[in-house]
Structure 1
Amino acid sequence: MWALRRASTPLRNQGYRVRTSYVFGKLEVPYFWEGNVAGFGTTAGLYDKFISFERNNPATWPSSGVYISSHGLSTQSRAENSGEEENVEDGFSELDGNEEELTSGSKIADDDDNDVDDGTQKELDLLDGETELAEKKFTKWVPSKLTKAIWNAPDFSVASALVKWVSQGNKLSRDDISSTMISLRRRQMFRKALQFSEWLEANGQLEFNERDYASRVHLIAKVQGLHKAESYIAKIPKSFQGEVVHRALLANYVVANNVEKAEEVFNKIKDLEFPMSIFAYNQMLVLYKKIDRRKIADVLLLMEKENIKPCPFTYKILIDGKGLSNDISGMEQVVDSMKAEGIELDVSTLSLLAKHYVSCGLKVKAKAILKEIEETNSNGPQWLCRILLPFYGKLQMEDEVRRLWEICEANPHIEECMAAIVAWGQLKNVQEAEKIFDRVVKTWKKLSARHYSIMMNVYRDSKMLTKGKEVVNQMAESGCHIDLLTCNAIVKLYVEAGEVEKADSFLVKAVKKYGMKPLFTSYKTLMDHYARRGDVHNAEKIFDKMRQSSYIPRLGQFGTLIQAYVNAKTPAYGMRERMMADKVFPNKTLAGQLAQVDSFRKTAVSDLLD
């Protein structure tokens, strides 16, 4: 853990002073340690009763405001935070935290959605104790009659479909219920999953345990909002209000980037003295990776103090955090710590490393990792193609893309086809991408919205916007249910075509029709465009919609909003007060923008001159 905390520190000299006090018998001995990037503390810190972090030079390195006591975490926003360093991500451009992206090497996503917290974090393992078995079966799973019955039911008629299904003499087993619930969550059919859960309890079809109640909390958060989910916990029988239920709430606050509430729930779990799992600590790491990576070391110190051992996913979070900060040396130190613990680098971890090597332009290192992935040969070379193809496309290695596609071409799975489409799209070889997509449409009659959105993105990136819109119409004609990623792809497509009002209107209609919460990046795309053209009214409208969708305002959102005022050459009255109300303090860039909008204010003299 010491090595892990050391790897988590930034590489430049920060100068931390760690104060600890601990008790030997009746004698309290103060312990002081002065240091820099070498580490955050010593073994003595494991026995402390209170730990606080202060940077030695507050003018240069203001406190992150995180204090760790024996009870947990808290964030204190203070005026001196206004000097936040320029290179720390502001929580707007790279709200990634997508757990599925970290754990699934086969995920094919939109071009820049890998770096955005789009609310599609891998669904929590919240069902009954047999869920792990159900998850394993799910990878080679055929939908059951129960699953199909719910899939095909009208949006608000799940109960009627279930009554009919049971009346036909069908039986409900926990395995069948678990696999059906997993399929609904994976397909983001949260409203139907919630109706299913409510029907099961109301009709006594399932004896609920804590994981079933936690699943309900998770679904209420997705469908009705976090406030309703938190209120529901009070209605759960006391014997089932344990750590699993609270961590479901915690994970949803993390997805919403709500630091204050996430810390509140985390501390409540500790205060209630529930047995703490690594899950809760990983959630805080995911949160701070998105919002303020300086706080990651504080969580690691608390884990060490509480004797919580990191799991492989903990290392993946840290690897991703260092990679997103372009700290490749620090990322490699985390990998060394992982190996020192005897944890082998699996394909998903290697894929994560490759992702950051590619994004940093380190082609030699990226190629070495890709070669290592190919040599693992896990589940056969064809399965690895779905991982490798997009990387080689990004690296503009057409020969490698062609070689790998030839391995799959005779009998590909749909995921290999989609990976190849992504790769050819990155190589701007639209003709090859179209050829494969036509094959997909003819071979698999029932495509998901994600499959259409991948081809849509190829056309968008190649500025073939008319063809992109044709894919949108093709998807609509197929009766395909629009998901969040597809909705985002359509918004970007229309914006790229200069039809921003149409993109805005589409998003409003999709929210109303499907009851979905748009991706953060969908709002970002619209707001960026409105800001560029100085459309203050619409920029403010999108800012308000983001807040209504539980996206907590941060530096990036305010920066984009203020830029709209700058481009409109109009003063932003009360902007500083609005930022203070949201506990957001300007960095140098934002302070410069605020100065610009201040210059537009009229004075007594300017009135006379007018």
Structure 2
Amino acid sequence: MMYSVSRLARRFCATLAAAAPAAIGGEAAAASVPKKTAKNQRSVYKKLSSLGKRGGKMEETLNQFTMEGIPVKKDDLIRYVKDLRKHRQPQRALEVFEWMERKEIAFSGSDHAIRLDLIAKTNGLKAAESYFNSLDLSTKTQSSYGSLLNCYCVEGEEEKAKAHFDKMCDLNLVTNSLPFNNLMAMNLRLGQPEKVPALVVAMKQKNISPCDVTYSMWIQSCGILNDLDGVEKVIEEMKADGGECRSSWDTFANLAAIYSKAGLYSKAEAALKSLEEKMNPHERSSYHFLISLYAGISNAPEVYRVWDLLKKGHPKVNNSSCLTMLQALSKLDDIDGMKKIFTEWESTCYTYDMRMANVMISSYLKENMYEEAEAVFNGAMKKCKGQFSKARQLLMMHLLKNDQADLALKHFEAAVSNQDKNWTWSSELIRSFSLHFEESKDVDGAEEFCKTLTIWSPLDSDTYTLLIKTYIAAEKACPGMRKRLEEQEIEIDEEMEGFLSKICP
């Protein structure tokens, strides 16, 4: 939605008219405003970057700049827009564009492309289509066409994406790998990896060489299809096409994951070594990925080696890094290593993260160490406010599997007393409790359990089926069960009818 021109905006019309197209304020403002201090002359980009931290309205801030005679350069605004988009703040980025439009700043084809993408993210695909259709033919460039294609692909609009792509081909706007990559990414998201190789063939027919992103998705598609021969052929072609320089982080990441899944650990490790050479040491996520994949191929020494590199490069180890390491050690069944990492984190953490406790609880229970798991849970309850739903469910599942239903019910009662409306019950836990009631022929317990479940959400067909099975096991009638199902709009299929006939004739 376009904002109306404010009174403050109209106040600067004369200044704007005199300004150069790429800046607002500039020399025109300098003629009537005293020389600025160094502080006032700092770039608008820096001031705008702090706006998100301080809060405030975009229009008021930009108008204040012009009122103070501070040059507002288009380059600064576009740079800030790109930053906002990168940090997933499309609405604020769009506000900058709307302000620029009110100031009659000319947009390039790439500017229109960015704005179109922001409109799609903020107002939806239809709004993006309308914006594209409103553009003059002179501004419908390769960038704007490509941006709309990307929108179609992101939304999974396969037919629209294909039609738009064909139109771009007719207009000779498909001259690089990007449009093909968009289609490939869409096919992978839609679960159609088999369509990727055909797009590579079509690309080559247009004399367009695959880029590193193309190779990465091509390899990924082969991996999904379990076509290891295809993976090897893509690698050979990639090497012939440009050697290692054509290989990106994503390429080796996909290779490592594919080989790991196939149990080809030596090849997976070779890919990880190549991956490490291309990683950005300033990005924690690079280390996280390596730790996870080394754990996936059961290489504990490499897990610890990368962990040491991470701590050396980023001495202030955050929650995400500790969580990654705990999950990796859990895969390796290294309970002693986990205990050490968890104890160190727990003693120094600024914010207690229940995800860490959940990993510890799960790993202890896997080793049948219930007391240790419960100790972690009790400690977490003293140090944070939750959420405890996953931890409680892990403990309850373990207790039910080990015929300790009484203790499991105590956790259940505690969860109910906490009245956590965000609790999400797993179907596995509901089934385990129901099996306990069925085996013990405890109709009253089952009914009370189901009544409590409705605090969070209505019972579904599966839960009613489990309840009815408890009645059948107890050989008890329930004349009102059919009416209950009808009131809850539960479909009574042939199987359900068979169960009902046994308890409410």
Q: Report which of the two has the higher share of helix.
A: 2
Which SS does the other structure have where 2:72 is aligned? coil
Q: What SS class does the counterpart of residue 310 from structure 1 fall into?
A: coil
Structure richer in strand, relative to its length: 1
For residue 352 of structure 1, report the CA deviation from its aligned partner. Answer: 2.4
How far the C-alpha of 1:273 sits from its partner, in A, is 4.2
Instruction: Choose the corresponding residue for 1:290, options 181, 189, 193.
Output: 189
Amino acid at match of 1:199: W
**Which of 112, 128, 135 matches 1:229?**
128
Aligned pair count reads 363
Cα distance in structure 1, aligned partners of 2:181 and 2:60: 40
Match of 2:357 in 1: 459
For residue 388 of structure 1, what is the amino acid of its counterpart?
Answer: L
CA contact (8 A) 1:243 1:276 kept: no
1:274 maps onto 2:173 in alignment: yes
Q: Structure 2: how far apart are the matches of 1:233 and 1:440? A: 49
Unaligned residue ranges in structure 2 (runs of 5+): 1-44, 331-337, 362-375, 396-411, 432-459, 467-490
**Equivalent residue runs for 1:287-436 within 5 Å:** 287-291=186-190, 292-344=192-244, 345-374=247-276, 385-410=287-312, 412=314, 418-428=320-330, 429=338, 431-433=340-342, 435-436=344-345
* CA displacement, residues 451-479 of structure 1 (integer Å, 9 cap, x when unaligned): x89x55433434467888999869xxxxx
Q: Which residue of 1 aligns with 2:19?
A: none
Question: Matched residues in 2 for 1:183 and 1:503: separation?
Answer: 41
Paired residue secondary structure (1:342)? helix
2:81 & 2:360 partners in 1: Cα distance? 39
Per-residue deviation at 1:222?
0.9
Give the TM-score taking structure 2 as reference length: 0.59
Determine if contact 1:566/1:597 at 8 Å carries over to the other structure: no
- 2:392, 2:156 → 1: CA distance? 28
What does 1:20-35 align with in structure 2 at a 5 Å threshold?
none
Taking a change above 3 Å as real, the CA distance of residues 503 and 285 of structure 1, as seen in their structure-2 partners, is farther
1:171 matched residue in structure 2: 71
Return 5+ residue gaps in structure 1 as ranges: 1-142, 442-451, 475-488, 508-525, 535-563, 571-595
In structure 1, C-alpha distance between the alignment counterparts of 2:157 and 2:384, rounded to whole Å: 34
Say if 1:374 and 1:295 are closer, same or farther in 2 by CA, change over 3 A: closer
Larger Rg: 2
RMSD over aligned Cα atoms = 4.5
Structure 1 residue 342, shift from structure 2 partner: 1.6
The secondary structure found in structure 1 opposite 2:156 is coil
Shift of 1:228: 1.2
Q: CA deviation at 1:282?
A: 0.7
Deviation at 1:530, TM superposition (A): 6.7
**CA separation in 1, counterparts of 2:144 and 2:419?**
38
Shift of 1:159: 1.8
Shift in Å, 1:168: 3.8
Higher relative CO (CA 8 A, sep ≥ 6), structure 1 or 2? 1
Tell me the CA shift for residue 212 of structure 1.
1.0
AA matched with 2:77? I
Q: Alignment partner of 1:207: what SS?
A: coil
Distance 1:227 1:366, change over 3 A: same
Aligned to 1:216: 115
Equivalent-residue separation in structure 2 for 1:466 and 1:271 (angstroms) = 66
What does 1:523-538 correspond to in 2, within 5 Å?
Answer: 529=426
Which SS does the other structure have where 2:106 is aligned? Answer: coil
Deviation (angstroms), 1:279: 1.1
Q: What TM-score results when the alignment is normalised by the length of structure 1?
A: 0.50
Query: Following TM superposition, by how much is the alpha carbon of 1:381 offset from its aligned partner in structure 2, in angstroms?
Result: 12
Q: Secondary structure at the match of 1:234?
A: helix
Separation (CA, whole Å) in 1 of partners of 2:48 and 2:83: 11
- Return the letter of the residue paired with 1:162: L
Asked whether the equivalents of residues 295 and 303 of structure 2 are also in contact (C-alpha less than 8 Å), the reply is: yes
* Matches of 1:199 and 1:396, distance apart in 2: 55
Distance change (3 Å), C-alpha of 1:256 and 1:324:
same
In 2: Cα distance, 1:182 partner to 1:490 partner: 38
8 Å CA contact 2:393, 2:429 repeated in 1: no
Q: Residue 138 of structure 2 corresponds to which residue in structure 1?
A: 239
Change (3 A) 1:466 1:339: farther
1:259 to 150, 158, 162: 158
Closer, same or farther in 2 for the Cα pair 1:340/1:199, shift >3 Å? same
